[in-house]
Structure 1
Amino acid sequence: MQKSQEKIHDLPTDVITEILLRLPARSLVQVRKVCKLWRSITTTSYFIDMYSKYGFPSRQQYVFVSDFDRRTISMLEPKSWRVILKLKKCTTESLELLGSCKGILCLYNYTLRCVELLNPMTCESITIPKPPMERRYLFYMGFDPSRKKFKVICRKRFCNPERWYVYTVGTDARWRHLVSMPDTSCLNCEGIYSNRALHWLGHKNGKMFLYSFDLKDETTSSIDITLCRDISSPRWPRLFELEGSIWLQSMYARNYGEPFIGMLEMNSVLEDQWTWKYSVRVPMSPPPRWTPLLIHNEEIIFLNDRLNLLYYYDLKQDLHKGFVACYDPESGSPSINRDSKAANHERKSVSCIAFRESLVEISKKKKKQRELGCTKQMIDDAFSRPMSLR
């Protein structure tokens, strides 16, 4: 045993770095406790950046927050639906999951009436100051890659015109009023982060627009999507992010009134062009509340947040199936039952989003570039060799 430990410590630092880059984020958190060298390697800003780009290809996970107690956050694996991580708030605070960005969760604290950002892998968290208004506001989160800063957007609803505020984590002391936002009516509450910008749907003068707020320059642009040939008379349009791309879903009706969801993906280069990807049949239920979460094993996972149910659609068989998110009082977290005939009284309200684990820091702190022999050049060397030699 002692000889094997000596062999590990005799390895060059760049080789150790390459090995560490292949581990899941939640394993790297435990690795930091092994020795000072490994902690020094895995906590440098450069390693974290390289891990985000070239590290372990972490799979998207589900993050559930049960409305039964709103104090338990559980992350489940889509393939086996087992709980692989569970976090509990030690206080009586009530939390709601708002979204995620680059492995950081955005939560609303109902007790303190403020927004909290949390990395569930590293347990780093930060509390955002209260917004400059009391109620009827929505929050969105994004990331400015030029400054490597997270930004939280606050939107005041039901006022004319709507008011928008922004808070830059680690820089701003208070919320800043965005005076250059367009005077338009938003179609729904959704706002998604993709391609370094916040996007939402709005309408003006009888036309539907896709608005984009650049998080670097804090400027807004718009695209008239009613002119797109693949989008005609959409009903209950909703914007969502899937695998890093911007998607639009809309309800349509086939023969005999059978409802289905049309899913279109926006061209990443020509933003005024959309590609029709999927036509998904849905059950006869309140139609506007179907949210695609991810595509896994040729299945699209949907959340019906009116019925508090999860559904999956088999793309190969063109077959719709359902399963239920049930609250387990013993474990204190949601459990997954792929049997759609589960008893109605077992169903509890849950909110869930797609999530990708990471080591990204919420508020970056300056670290020494050289600690215990770990340098930027050593990490570069780990990626300078061809993949066949790794």
Structure 2
Amino acid sequence: MEDTTPLRRLPEDAIADILLRLPSKYILRSGAVCRAWRRITTSPHFLAERARRHQPVSILAHAYLPSAPWARGLPGGFGSEEDTALEALPVASPEDDRRRLVRYPATIPAHCGRLLASCAGVLLFRKAAGLYLLCNPVARRWAELPRLPDDYCRDRDPEYGFYFHQPSGEFRILCCSLTRRVWYIVSTGAAGPRHLEANPDPDLINEFVRPLLTTAAIPVPLHGNLHWPPLWLCAGGESRIMAFNTVSETFLQIAGPKSRAPRMVKLFEMEGLLAVADFGEEKLVDLWFLEDYVGERWAHRYRALAPWKHGSQGRPRNHWGMQSVAVAGDEEGNVIVGNNDALVVYSTRMKKTLRTVDSAVQRKNRVFVSMHVFKGSLVQHPCFSAPNSDDFPLIHSWS
């Protein structure tokens, strides 16, 4: 007998519109209902529309929890009485929308299980020396990058950037070996590290950029370039930003905004523009936007009240204090800024502070804000697979 349920009679466009309204975990499950739904939910148009509608820009925070009972005494020494949960805190959504992404033992050795960066909905972890793990917590998929040869593992913190290479569809890590004096790329589509053809002097570049684990601000990908925050001033008072072109694989410099304290700034992307939050003043945060990328023209658009009270211990005092500061902007003109001593959401359209994020600054919650920005993605990259407990020992659960 022919199925005459209402959903069967609906056109695919209407079904797609209904499915777009579901939470991500139910979209993933809906593909098992029938082939038609699986075809709809895996189509490029559906995934692009889903990303546009439902994946908010978030900052990442670490929450410490009692360990999951089933995870204690894991093989490999990963058993722990406490877990680390990685949570996404949307820029402007209610605090109840905070979403737990992954959960793993808090006592993982320091050299592995480290979150290094986030890009295009994918988290980069250092699983062990020379071995990296890519994790898409929304699509619940993971991939391992090719293990580095032993002679590349002698360098401490070789990772400088993480990005998605659009022409090849690969996720790539930009690395530097100070012992070998070379820059190289580790990617999902290669069997091993590949040296840059134009290999600049590492000492020259390292004057202006820092490794991912020690930087005060994660480099921002935009228009095919990775951008690092300025670390020095020109004679005229302007700052300069080091960038890496991910297509030509060359380093370049672009103009930065005027700043009296260039080491006290954070780069972020907002509404398709490169932006800077300048923390050089005690009571104010200056927001600059690169309005003309080709012409390198910056505009000082907003002055927001600093989230910290005057004289607060939470306010960053130097370049290293910036490591604890989070800044991110969304498509609605909202900017979240601060750390665990004060975290607020500022509206550039209303030119005022909208609210404080209390859950992240209450010590009893044991939530620690990071400098990482995350926007989820349901895109199924071919190099990713669904994990099982044997292949994915660092993760207890996806929520």
TM-score, normalised relative to structure 2: 0.68
Unpaired runs of 5+ residues, structure 1, are 325-335, 366-390
* One-letter identity of the residue aligned with 1:186: F
Match of 1:278 in 2: 302
When residues 300 and 239 of structure 1 are mapped into structure 2, their CA distance, relative to the original with a 3 A threshold, is closer
Kept in 2: contact 1:48–1:359 (CA 8 A): no
Match of 2:7 in 1: 8
Per-residue CA deviations over 1:136-156 (Å, capped at 9, x if unaligned) read: 333422122222222222245
3-state SS in 1 of match to 2:167: coil
Kept in 1: contact 2:336–2:346 (CA 8 A): no
Per-residue CA deviations over 1:218-259 (Å, capped at 9, x if unaligned) read: 23332244xxxx514334243422334212233334xxxx44
When residues 101 and 187 of structure 1 are mapped into structure 2, their CA distance, relative to the original with a 3 A threshold, is closer
* One-letter identity of the residue aligned with 1:358: S
Q: What is the rounded CA distance, in whole Å, between the counterparts of 1:204 and 1:236 in structure 2?
A: 7
1:149 aligned to 2:170?
A: yes
1:75 aligned to 2:98?
A: no
- The one of 249, 266, 269 equivalent to 1:242 is 269
Q: What is the rounded CA distance, in whole Å, between the counterparts of 1:268 and 1:24 in structure 2?
A: 37
Root mean square deviation, CA, Å: 3.8
When residues 119 and 167 of structure 1 are mapped into structure 2, their CA distance, relative to the original with a 3 A threshold, is same
Q: What is the rounded CA distance, in whole Å, between the counterparts of 1:161 and 1:224 in structure 2?
A: 31
Match of 2:26 in 1: 27
Q: What is the rounded CA distance, in whole Å, between the counterparts of 1:322 and 1:162 in structure 2?
A: 46
TM-score, normalised relative to structure 1: 0.70
When residues 179 and 291 of structure 1 are mapped into structure 2, their CA distance, relative to the original with a 3 A threshold, is farther
When residues 317 and 42 of structure 1 are mapped into structure 2, their CA distance, relative to the original with a 3 A threshold, is closer
* One-letter identity of the residue aligned with 1:293: A
3-state SS in 1 of match to 2:94: coil
Match of 2:241 in 1: 210
Q: What is the rounded CA distance, in whole Å, between the counterparts of 1:20 and 1:74 in structure 2?
A: 25
When residues 298 and 150 of structure 1 are mapped into structure 2, their CA distance, relative to the original with a 3 A threshold, is closer
Match of 1:99 in 2: 117
Kept in 2: contact 1:107–1:115 (CA 8 A): yes
Per-residue CA deviations over 1:39-75 (Å, capped at 9, x if unaligned) read: 233234x34654367x534322343333675642233
Q: What is the rounded CA distance, in whole Å, between the counterparts of 2:330 and 2:13 in structure 1?
A: 35
When residues 180 and 14 of structure 1 are mapped into structure 2, their CA distance, relative to the original with a 3 A threshold, is same
Per-residue CA deviations over 1:189-227 (Å, capped at 9, x if unaligned) read: 2312122221124668957432322222323332244xx
1:179-190 map, 5 Å:
179-182=197-200, 183-184=204-205, 185-186=207-208, 188=210, 189=215, 190=218
3-state SS in 1 of match to 2:8: helix
Kept in 2: contact 1:17–1:41 (CA 8 A): yes
Q: What is the rounded CA distance, in whole Å, between the counterparts of 1:113 and 1:76 in structure 2?
A: 30
Match of 1:128 in 2: 145
When residues 14 and 357 of structure 1 are mapped into structure 2, their CA distance, relative to the original with a 3 A threshold, is same
When residues 137 and 66 of structure 1 are mapped into structure 2, their CA distance, relative to the original with a 3 A threshold, is farther
- The one of 171, 188, 194 equivalent to 1:176 is 194
Q: What is the rounded CA distance, in whole Å, between the counterparts of 2:193 and 2:95 in structure 1?
A: 39
Using the aligned pairs only, state the percent identity.
19
Per-residue CA deviations over 1:336-380 (Å, capped at 9, x if unaligned) read: 25xx6x4x5765544363322221224359xxxxxxxxxxxxxxx
1:231 aligned to 2:246?
A: no
When residues 63 and 146 of structure 1 are mapped into structure 2, their CA distance, relative to the original with a 3 A threshold, is same
Kept in 2: contact 1:26–1:121 (CA 8 A): yes
Match of 2:220 in 1: 192
Unpaired runs of 5+ residues, structure 2, are 66-81, 385-399
Q: What is the rounded CA distance, in whole Å, between the counterparts of 1:220 and 1:116 in structure 2?
A: 26
When residues 245 and 17 of structure 1 are mapped into structure 2, their CA distance, relative to the original with a 3 A threshold, is same
Offset, 1:294: 3.0
Q: What is the rounded CA distance, in whole Å, between the counterparts of 1:354 and 1:95 in structure 2?
A: 18
* One-letter identity of the residue aligned with 1:80: P
Offset, 1:92: 6.8
- The one of 286, 289, 312 equivalent to 2:344 is 312
Match of 1:262 in 2: 286
How many residue pairs are counted as aligned between the two chains? 332
Kept in 2: contact 1:313–1:321 (CA 8 A): yes
When residues 360 and 310 of structure 1 are mapped into structure 2, their CA distance, relative to the original with a 3 A threshold, is farther
Q: What is the rounded CA distance, in whole Å, between the counterparts of 2:47 and 2:357 in structure 1?
A: 37
| Structure 1 residue ranges, 4+ long, deviating more than 6 angstroms after superposition | 2-5
Q: What is the rounded CA distance, in whole Å, between the counterparts of 1:149 and 1:48 in structure 2?
A: 21
1:109-128 map, 5 Å:
109=127, 114-128=131-145
Structure with bigger strand share is: 1
Kept in 2: contact 1:293–1:303 (CA 8 A): no
Match of 2:57 in 1: 60
Q: What is the rounded CA distance, in whole Å, between the counterparts of 1:16 and 1:296 in structure 2?
A: 27
When residues 89 and 234 of structure 1 are mapped into structure 2, their CA distance, relative to the original with a 3 A threshold, is closer
Kept in 1: contact 2:59–2:326 (CA 8 A): no
Offset, 1:168: 2.3
Per-residue CA deviations over 1:76-110 (Å, capped at 9, x if unaligned) read: 4553222444433489746333332222222233x
* One-letter identity of the residue aligned with 2:328: L
Match of 2:79 in 1: none
* One-letter identity of the residue aligned with 1:152: I
Kept in 2: contact 1:101–1:142 (CA 8 A): yes
3-state SS in 2 of match to 1:252: coil
Q: What is the rounded CA distance, in whole Å, between the counterparts of 1:250 and 1:127 in structure 2?
A: 37
